[in-house]
Structure 1
Amino acid sequence: MEMKDYYAILGVKPSDDIKAIKTAYRRLARKYHPDVSTEADAEARFKEVAEAYEVLKDSERRAEYDELLKHRNDPDFGRRAYREAHHGDSGNAEDFSDIFASMFGQRSRTNQQHHHQRAARGQDVEIAAAMFLEETLKEQTRTLSYNVPVYNAFGLVEEEKAKTLNVKIPAGVMDGERIRVKGQGVPGVNGGANGDLYLIIKLAPHPLFEVMGHDLEIILPLAPWEAALGTKVSLPTLSDNILLTIPAGSQAGQRLRVKGKGLVSKKETGNLYAVIKIVMPAKPDDKSAALWQQLAEANPVFDPRTVWSKA
C-alpha cells in the first residue's frame, strides 16, 4: 500500500488546525458524494477523502501519521516504527509503504467497516419556545426551523441541513415544560433511531399578572374612599375584562378571588386573585384636606397601629 499524503488529498497544510481539516473534508465529501457527483472516479475519491479525514481528525493518529510522513525517506525509522506497532515483530516489511499499510491501511479499513456496521441513535434537539400567558389558554401551532447533520456512509457529518416543522402546543403549558416530538431530532447513523425534538416552554413575564402555579395575581389599586365605601371596578383578565365588586371596608393586601380566570390546566382552570392596594392622592387640595380632617374627628378612637401592642 503506497503511503498517501492525506493533507494533499484534503487540500490542506500540515500546519492547519482541525477546523480547517473538517471544513475541507465537508467540502470534498459533498463534491465527490456518489449520489451527487457525475465524475467517473467519484466513489473512489469519496472513500479516499473519508480515509484521510479518519486519520487527521484523531489527534493521536495524526501525530503518528505526521511522524511517518516526516521520516518517510528513512528506512531505519520505518522498521523501528513497524516493530513498535507489532510489539517487536519485524514482519515482512520491505519498504516504507509496507509500514504505512500495516499502521494505517488496516485500521482505516476497520474503521470504515465499523462505521458501516455500527448503528447509533441520533441526538435529541432542544428548542426554547417563548409564549405569552394569553397564548396558553388555547392550543397553538409553532413553525420551527433548525439544523440537523447529514451523515455519509462512514457515519461522519457531511453537512448540516435546515429542517422546518410545525409543532402543536397544547393549552395549559407551564414554564419549563418539555414537549416531546418523537423522531424529529438528529437522524440516526447507519440505521439507528432518530433522536427526539424537545420544545422547552418559556413563559414571558406579563406587565399585569404574576404567575403562581396555575393561579394569577394582579395588583388592584383603589382610592381610600373606594375601599371604605365599596365600589365596582373593571378588572382585566387574560381573556377579557370583568366587573368586580369591591365590598365596603376592604383592606390593603386583601385578596379577592375571581374563580376560573387563571391559567388553564389539564384538571381545572386556576383562579385570578386581585390584591388590593390603597393609593392616596398625591397632594390633596384645601377642600379634600378639610374632609380628611372631618373624617379624623369622626373617628377619634381609631388607631391603625394597635397591632404593634399585640406583637
Structure 2
Amino acid sequence: MADFYERLGVGRDATADELQRAYRKLARQYHPDINKDPGAEEKFKQVSEAYDVLSDPDQRKRYDAFGDDFRRVPPDVDPETWARAQRAGGAGRAASGGRAGASQGAWGGSAGPGGWSGGWSEADGDVDLEDLLGGMFGGRRGWGPIPGADQEVGFDLSVPEAYWGGHRRLTISGPDGGRTVEVTIPAGVTDGQRIRLAGQGGQGSGDAPAGDLYLVAHLVGDRRYRVEGRDIYVDLPVSPSEAALGARVALETPGGEVKLRVPGGTSSGKRLRLKGRGLGAKRNPGDLYAEVRIVLPDKLSDEEQRLYEQLAAATTFDPRRQR
C-alpha cells in the first residue's frame, strides 16, 4: 500500500489546511470527468482514500501508529503492544531460519458476518499471548464487533446554491442498490468541502456503530460565475461612455443584484472588488470581483458614427503608448 502522505504529496506534519489544499489540487487533476487518461480514475480513488483517512483526526492517529495495518488493528490495541507483537513475530521468524512449515509469530485473522476473528499465532511456543496482551480482550481470542467504514460521495453544486446553502435530497448508489439521504448544505460551502452525516456510512458488524458518510461538494461553474477558492469572479459589461465618464451600473451576483460604481477612466480588465460577497463562513468570507469589459454595439447609428468621428479627431490619446 502506497504511503498516504506520499499520495497527497505532503509531509507527515501537514496541517488540516495543507491536506485539503493538496487534495483539492490532485482531485481536480485526476477527476474522471476532467481527466480522460485511462489511469486517472484509479489515481483519483487513491488520492480520495488517502485524504479520507488523513483528514479524520482519529483515523490519522491510527495510521501514524500502525501504518498499513491501521484498519485491522482492534481499537483497544495500543501502539506499544502492537510494536512488541511485531518484534516478537520477527524473532520467531528469525529463530525458524525460514524453514518450510516452521511456526512463526504473526497477527492475522479475517472478517466474516460475525465480525473479525483471529489473533496472535505463537512462534514455537516462545510467545505467551495472555502475557503479551495483558488480558485486554477479557480472555477472548476474537476481535469482537468491528465499526462500519466511512464512505465518501461527491455531488455537484451551482455557485448560487453554494452561496445560499439549503437542503438537498441525494441518491447514494451502493452494492445493495441506491438510497436517498437528506443533507443540509451550509451557506458559503466551498469547492471540495466535506459535509459529514454521522452514522450514515457503512454498517458495522454485530453491535458496532455504523461509519460516517462524507459528502464532498464539487462546484460547477457557468457562464456567469468563476470560482477560485473563496473568491467569485463575474464579468461586468459597460459601454465606452460609462467607462470613460463613470457610472453606477447594476450587477447580478449570487447574493442578488447590487449597484456598483464604475470610476471614470476605467479600462477593460480592471477588477472592482466587493468585499465579503464571496464564499465561505460568515466570519471569513471571500470577495467578489467584477471584471470590467467595455462593449461596443454591433452597429453604430448615424449619430453615434458622427460623434465617434468627432472624438477621434479631437483626442490626442494613444492607448498603444500607455504603460
Match of 2:153 in 1: 127
Change (3 A) 1:114 1:298: closer
Q: How does 1:81-160 map to 2 (within 5 A)?
A: 118=143, 119-146=145-172, 160=176
Q: Deviations over 1:55-111 (max 9, x none)?
A: xxxxxxxxxxxxxxxxxxxxxxxxxxxxxxxx9xxxxxxxxxxxxxxxxxxxxxxx8
- In 1, the alpha carbon distance for the partners of 2:113 and 2:281 equals 52
Distance 2:250 2:113 in 1: 72
Larger radius of gyration: 1
1:201 and 2:201 aligned:
no
1:177 is the counterpart of 2:193 = yes
Closer, same or farther in 2 for the Cα pair 1:285/1:190, shift >3 Å? same
CA distance in 2, matches of 1:112, 1:243: 63
Cα distance in 1, alignment partners of residues 202 and 243 from structure 2: 59
Paired with 2:300 and 2:113, the residues of 1 have a C-alpha distance of 87
User: What pairs with 1:143-292 in structure 2 (closer than 5 Å)?
Assistant: 143-146=169-172, 160=176, 163-292=179-308
Letter of the 1:124 partner, please give it: D
- Report the counterpart of residue 321 of structure 2 in structure 1: 306
Shift of the 132–246 alpha-carbon distance from structure 1 to 2, 3 Å rule, reads: same
Q: Which amino acid aligns with 1:134?
A: P
Is the CA contact (8 Å cut-off) linking 1:148 and 1:187 kept in structure 2? no
Cα deviation for residue 253 of structure 1 reads: 1.1
8 A contact 1:148–1:186 mirrored in 2:
no
Deviation per CA, 1:30-53: give whole Å up to 9, x if none. Answer: xxxxxxxxxxxxxxxxxxxxxxxx
Q: How many residues align?
A: 188
Q: In the alignment, is the contact (CA less than 8 A) between 1:185 and 1:195 conserved in 2?
A: yes
Report SS of the residue matched to 1:305: helix
Aligned-partner Cα distance in 1 for 2:319–2:299: 22
CA RMSD of aligned residues (A): 2.8
Is the CA contact 2:191–2:229 (under 8 Å) kept in the aligned structure 1? Answer: no
Give how far 1:161 is off: 6.7
AA of the residue aligned to 2:308:
W
Greater Cα shift, 230-239 or 165-174: 165-174
- Over 3 Å counting, the alpha-carbon distance change for 1:204 and 1:161 in structure 2 is closer
Deviation at 1:163, TM superposition (A): 4.3
Give per-residue Cα distances to partners, 1:233-266, cap 9 Å, x unaligned. 1111112212222222111111112233222425
Identity in percent = 39
Q: Could you tell me how far apart the structure 1 residues matched to 2:277 and 2:207 are?
A: 49
Range moving further from structure 2, 232-241 or 125-134: 125-134
State how far apart, in whole Å, the 2-side matches of 1:254 and 1:161 are: 51
